[in-house]
Amino acid sequence: QRLDWLNRTRCQVDRCSLISCPIGEISSRPDYYFQQSALKQAKQLFPDYKEISIGSSTN
């Protein structure tokens, strides 16, 4: 969601559209805490998501 928001609100550095692009309504700026709470809800809806850790990953 954060990357989607970033891509929808930016244009390439060396060019700019002469016609504005519709980016759709962005209700809130997604951040870590927003996604963390959304993941908790998704785990209830989709049991396979229970394997996803909310904390930092240890690669």
pLDDT tens for each residue of 1-59: 566 776 666 666 666 666 666 666 666 667 888 888 888 888 888 888 888 776 655 54
pLDDT, position 17: 63
Task: Give residues with Cβ within 8 angstroms of 54, minimum separation 6.
Answer: 36, 39, 40
pLDDT, position 59: 43
CB contact at 8 A, 9 and 21: no
Domain that holds residue 42: 28-52
Does residue 18 fall inside a structural domain?
no
Residue among 34, 26, 37, 22 at smallest CA distance from 4: 26
pLDDT, position 50: 81
pTM over 0.75: no
Does residue 15 fall inside a structural domain?
no
| HEC-encoded secondary structure of 9-26 | CCCCCCCCCCCCCCCCCC
pLDDT, position 12: 65
Does residue 37 fall inside a structural domain?
yes
Does residue 40 fall inside a structural domain?
yes
pLDDT, position 54: 64
Number of domains making up the chain: 1
